[in-house]
Structure 1
Amino acid sequence: MEVAAKPAIRGAASIVRALEAHGVRYVFSIPGVHTLSLYRALDDSAVIQTVLPRHEQGAGYMADGYARVSEGVGVAVTITGPGVTNILTPIAQAFADSSRVFLIATNLERPFLNRLEGNLHELTDQLAVVRPVVKWAYRAMTADELAPAIAEGFRQLWTGRPRPVYLEVPLDLLDEATALAVEPATPPPPSEPAPHLIEHAAQLLRNAKRVLVFAGGGAVSRRVAPLLKEFVEAIGAVVLTSLMGKGALPEDHPQVAGAFGYRWSPDNPVVTLMERSDLTIVIGSGLGVRTTANGTMPLPTPLIHIDIDEHEFGKRYQPDVALAADAAVTLSALLAAVHAGARPREGWTPEEIAPVKHALRTPPDERTARYVPYLEAVRAALPREAIIVNDMTMLCYEGVRFLPVYEPRSYLFPRGFGTLGSSLPTAIGAKLARPDVPVVSLNGDGGFQFTLEELGVLAHYRFPVIVVIFNDSTHTAVKVAMHRAYPGHYRDVDLVNPDYVKLAAAYGLTAVRVASPSELEVTLRHAVEANEPMVIDVPIALERYA
C-alpha cells in the first residue's frame, strides 16, 4: 500500500508549529525585513501571541522575566546582525542567572554566511558571537532540520542546569519546503542522587547537633519549596538565603533568618548562626566569589552541597558530600532518611533564631536607616504574592536584606551579570507569566534610562505593571564608590533627568510623584487596586558625600 506523502510546508511554518507543539504562547520580537516570512507564519497561529518591545534588549529581558516567573521557557526572536548583538546582554544575564530563554535569530542566506560581501546586517561569524552566552547553539542548514533543532533546544533547556539556547536560521530556509512532522521533545526525568551519597548525608545528619541550610537560586521553585519547608521543620534547621535564594521559603517562617544581604561581611548578625551550627547543607548555590566574599563566609563543616551543576562543587568550599542532582528529588530522598531517624541531636528553636533575625532586620548604621523606610513602604503596600523586579540600584541592594519575600519566584534580581536597565522589561515578561498577581518594577533613575522606551509596551498593551523610580539624578553606586576611593573627585555620575511624570503622560500612562515613604505606600496600594500601568517617581537624597 502506497503511503501518501506529507504535504510540504515552508520552513517558517515549521518553526511556528514546533514552538506551538512545545507549549509556547508568547514570542518577544521586533519584526524586520529578515523575519517577514516568520511573521507571516506567526500570523497563522491561533496559539502564539507576539509581544512587540521597543528594543531587542527589551525582547531578551521580557523572555527572561517570563521564564523566571513561569518556571518555563521564554522565547525571543531577532533579526540577523544588530538584532543579535542588541539582545546579547539579556541573554548573557539569563545565562548568568540560570534562566530558560530560547533565542531564535535569522542569518544571511546560506551562500553568504561568514563571507563579508557587503550584505545587510552581516557579521564575520554570528554563531560564534552568541556561543559564549548560551549552553547550546546550532545553525540549521536545511529546512528539514528546523523542527528537530527546536526540539533539541527544548531538550537542552530541560536537561541539567537551565541556561539559554540558540537556534540560527539562514534566511533562505524560511521559504524552503519541508515535510517533517513536529515531534516535541519530552522533558527528561529529574536527575536522582546516588543512594550511597544520600546515606553518607544521612549519617552526617545523625552526627550533627544543629544544621544550617543555605538556600540559593536553585532552591527557589514551586516544586522545591514544600519539600524544603518539610525538611527544615523536620530537622530543626535554621535557613539563610543568598540574594538569588530569596523566596525559597517565606522570610517570616520561624526557622528562616532571611537573606544576609547583597554582600558578605564578617560583622553580619548571622555569623552567630554559623558559629553555633556544626553542619551546613547548601542547596542550589555555587557559593560564588560575590556570595561568599571569595570564600571568607564561615560556613560550618562538614558540608553537604546539593546542585544540579557538578561544576559548582569545590571551588571555594570542599563538600563532604556532593549531590549533583535535582533539588526536589534530593530533598525527597533526604526526607525519607530523616523520617527513618536521621535527625540532628538538638536543632535550632525559633526562640534561638528570633534575636538574630531581629538584628538582621535592624539597620546597622544611619546611612542604611535612611533607605529602610522606603523598602518597608513597598512591602507594606503589596500582597505577599506580589512579584518584585529589581534593577541594579541602591534601594534594591539594600532590599536584599531589608525587604522580605514570601513566595518562590516572586523576587527577581539581575545578580549574575549585573545589568542596568533590566527591571522594566523583565517585569513585563513576569506579568505575562503571572497576570493574576501585582508586578512592581523597582528602578534607579540612571538604570531606568537604559530601557525607558519599554514604557511604550505598557502603553501599547496596557499591561498593569507598576514602575517605581527612585530618583536622585545620580549614578549613585558609582558616585559612592568614587567618594570612598577618591573623596571629592566625581566625574560623569550626576544626571540631567527628564520629568518622569511628564514622560509617562506622553505615553498616555498614569504617573504620580511622591515625597515620602508614607506617600509611596499609599500610592502603591492605589496602583495595586487600580490594576493598570502606573509610573511612580520617588525623588530621594539618601547619600551623603561631604
Structure 2
Amino acid sequence: MQTLTTAQTVVSMLEVNGIDTLFCLPGVQNDPFFDALYDRTNAIRPIHARHEQACAYMALGYAMAAGKPSAYVVVPGPGFLNTTAALATAYAVNAPVLALTGQIQQSMIGRNVGLLHELPDQLAIMRGLTKWADRIPSPSAAPGLVNEAFRRLLSGRQRPVALECAMDTWARRAPVEMIASAASADPCPVDEDAVERAAKLLGGAQRPMIVVGGGAQGAGAHVQRIAELLDAPVMTGRMGQGVIDGRHRLSVTAPAGYQFWGEADVVLAVGTRLQPQQQNWGIDDTLKIVRIDADSEELDRQRKPEIGIVGDATAVLKRLAERLDRHNTKRDGRAAHVGDLKAAAQKKIHELLAPQIAYLEAMRKALPEDGILVDELTQMGYAARFAWPTYKPRTFLSPGYQGTLGWGYATSLGAKVAKPDTAVLSISGDGGFMFTAMEMATAAQHGIGVVAVVFSDGAFGNVKRIQQQSFNNRTIATDLRNPDFVKLAESFGIDAVRVESPEALGAAISRGIAKGSPLLIDCPVGQFPDPWSLVTLPRIRPRKG
C-alpha cells in the first residue's frame, strides 16, 4: 500500500500500461494531474497542442501508426467536446485511444448549477462515442479502472475508451494498492471446427476472392499465403491498405475488386465491414461469404455469412492457411485472369485521373517504402485510396467511413511521434488543412518532422464540382480565401516552399524527408477530374450469365 493522490496513481498506471506520450492541453480542472505528471516526464512525454481537437487527432495518429494504445488528456466540457470528432473517427477506424478528461467538483456533477465547463452529462456523451467509459471516484479505485480501460482497449474489436475524474478527486490522497502488471487482452480461442469448414469451402471454390480491412493489419503474411494458395485477388479497402504489399500480383483496390466481386463464388472477408460490397455492389444466393472478425456483432450485421468466425485475424488465418492445403483444388487460368482484370482496372484509373496520378506517382517515388501517408478529404486523397501503392502495414492512414475533413495534419503529427525514424507525409486540400493549421506551432515547438503538402485550389473543390455538375453551376459557400501558406508556415518557424508540378513536388518531399524537420509544401492546382465514377459503383450482382 502507498499513500498517493488519484493523479499520481493514474499517471503511474498509464506508465505501467506502456503509455510513453500524452497529447494534452492543460487547464484548471486538471491542475493536480499535470503536477503529478511533472514528476514522471522522464517516462511519459507530454506534447501539448494549440487546440484540443489536435490532442485527440495526434493520439489517433499515434495509435494507428504504432498499432498500440495511446492517450490524450483535456479539460471537461468544451475541452472534451472539442475532441469528439477525433474520438468518433477513432471509433470508426478501430483505434485504441484513451480519452482522459477532468470534471467539475465531484459533489456538483449532474446538478446543473452552472460551474465552469459543466455539461449536463459528460459521461453519457463519452459512452456514446466509445466502447466503454467510466468515472474515477477515488485514489483506491484508480488502478483497477485504468487497467480496465486498457483491458477493453486491447480486447476484441479495438475502439476508444474514456475515463473522467473530478477536479477535487485528482488531488485526493489515500492509501492505494497499486497493480504492478499491465492489463492484457481477453483470450480468444480459435474455433477449430469453423476453420475446418472454411478451409473446405474456400478450397473448393473456383473464383475465390479475399477482402481485407483494418482488422487484418498485422496478419498480412497469412493473408498472402492463403491468397497464393487460392490464386485469389486480395481487395484492400481504405483501412486494409498495406495488409499485403500493393505491388503483389494479387493485391487490388476497389475498381478491380468490384469486378471480382461480381464473379466470385466464395469471398473470404477479414476484419472488414463489407459495407459497400453488401449494401451497394449486391449479394445473391450464389455467393458464399466466410467472415473473420473480432466483433461477433459485425459478422451478421447486414447478412448472415455462410461461415462466421469470431477471433483474432492472425491466429485464425494461421490455422486456416495450415488446413487449406489438404482441401485446395486447381484453378487453371485463374492467375492469368486476375492479372488481366487488374491491369484493365489500373489502365482505367490512369486514363480517368491522369493529373492526380502524376502527383501520386511523384509522391510515392519520394516516400520510402516504409513511409506513412496520411490522406485527407481532398481530391488527391480520394484518388490515393485506389491508386496509391501501399507497401507496408499501417503506412496508409485514412479516417475511414467517418470521412473527417481536417483530420489529416494533426493526425500526421501523432503518427510521426509514434514513428520518429519513419518518414510521414500529410496530404491536404486548402480547406481541410486550415482546420488544424495552427498545429504548425506544435510541430515547430516539439520538433515533429512531418512533411505536409497542401493542394490549394481556392475552394472546397469536391463540393464545388458537384454543385457545378449536378446543380446547374449554382455554386455557393465553396470558394476560399487563403493565406499565403508559405509565409504562414515560415511565421511559425517552419520551412516552406511552393511548387507547381509533380516533379518539383517529388523533389521537395525528398529534400524535406532528408532534412528531418517540419516542412510545408504549398502546391497550387486547378480543378481535378471527377473520381466518383470509380468510387460510387452500381450493383453488380446477381452475376450475369
Scaled to the shorter chain, the TM-score interval is over 0.9
SS in 2 for 1:345: coil
Deviation at 1:295, TM superposition (A): 4.8
Inter-partner Cα distance in structure 2 for 1:299 and 1:519: 52
- State the TM-score, normalizing by the size of structure 2: 0.93
Matched, 1:279 2:266: yes
CA contact (8 A) 1:67 1:74 kept: yes
Match of 1:313 in 2: 299
Any conservation in 1 of the 2:200–2:324 contact (CA below 8 Å)?
no
Q: Matched residues in 2 for 1:87 and 1:463: separation? A: 21
Q: In the alignment, what sits opposite 2:366?
A: 381
- Amino acid corresponding to residue 154 of structure 2 in structure 1: W
**1:171 maps to which of 167, 188, 199:** 167
Alpha-carbon distance in 2 for matches of 1:362, 1:12: 58
| 1:259 equivalent in alignment to 2:259 | no
Unaligned segments of structure 1, at least 5 residues? 1-5, 261-267
- Which one of the candidate residues 410, 423, 446 is aligned to 2:431? 446
SS at match of 1:143: coil
CA distance in 2, matches of 1:277, 1:299: 12
Alignment partner, residue 117 of structure 2 = 121
Alignment of 1:380-399 (within 5 A): 380-399=365-384
Return the alpha-carbon distance in structure 1 between the equivalents of residues 529 and 154 of structure 2. 48
Query: Per-residue displacement from partner, 1:90-115 (whole Å, max 9, x unpaired)?
Result: 00110111100001111011111111
Whether the 8 Å contact between 2:103 and 2:166 is mirrored in structure 1 is yes
Deviation at 1:252, TM superposition (A): 0.6
AA partner of residue 9 (structure 2) = S
Residues 470-523 of structure 1: CA deviation (Å, up to 9, x unaligned): 000100111122123212101110000000000001011110100111111111
CA drift of 1:279 comes to 1.4
Deviations 1:106-132 (A, max 9, x none): 101111111122311111111112211
Q: Provide the rounded CA distance (Å) in 2 between the counterparts of 1:348 and 1:380.
A: 33
SS of aligned partner of 1:460: helix
- Does residue 66 (structure 1) correspond to residue 53 (structure 2)? The answer is no
The aligned counterpart of 1:141 is 137
CA deviation vs aligned residue, 1:118-158 (integer Å, no higher than 9, x gap): 31111111111221100001012222111211000000111
Structure 1 position 18 matched with structure 2 position 3: no
Amino acid aligned to 2:455: F
Rounded Cα–Cα distance in structure 2 between residues aligned with 1:66 and 1:348 = 43
* Residue of structure 1 in register with 2:538 after alignment: none
Where in structure 1 do 4 or more consecutive aligned residues deviate above 6 Å?
297-300
The residue aligned with 2:88 is: 92
8 A contact 2:203–2:230 mirrored in 1: no
2:442 aligned with 1:457, yes or no?
yes
Give % identity.
31
State whether residues 367 and 509 of structure 2, in contact with CA within 8 Å, keep that contact through their aligned partners in structure 1. Answer: yes
Q: Deviations over 1:150-187 (max 9, x none)?
A: 00000011111101001110111111113223324431
Residue 524 of structure 1 aligns to which amino acid in structure 2?
Answer: I
Write the distance in 2 (CA, Å) between the matches of 1:147 and 1:512.
Answer: 49
Q: Confirm or deny: 8 A CA contact 2:29 2:166 kept in the other structure.
A: no
For residues 38-72 of structure 1, the C-alpha deviation after alignment (integer angstroms, 9 at most, x for no partner) is 11111100200000111000000000010011111
Listed one character per residue, the Cα deviations across residues 416-452 of structure 1 (whole Å, up to 9, x for unaligned) are 2111111111111111111121000110100111111
| Aligned-partner Cα distance in 1 for 2:103–2:257 | 52
Residues 62 and 426 in structure 1, CA contact (< 8 A), matched pair in contact too: yes
Find out whether 1:47 has 2:43 as its counterpart.
yes
Post-superposition shift, 1:32? Answer: 0.8
Counterparts of 1:315-464 in structure 2 under 5 Å? 315-339=301-325, 341-346=326-331, 350-364=335-349, 368-464=353-449
Cα offset, 1:77, TM superposition: 0.4
Match 2:478 to one of 471, 477, 493: 493
Aligned counterparts, 1:217-296, within 5 A: 217-221=214-218, 224-256=219-251, 258-260=252-254, 268-288=255-275, 290=276, 293-296=279-282
**Structure 2 unpaired stretches of 5+:** 531-545
Distance change (3 Å), C-alpha of 1:300 and 1:382: farther
Task: Evaluate the alpha carbon distance shift between residue 137 and residue 488 of structure 1 in structure 2; reply closer, same or farther with a 3 A threshold.
Answer: same
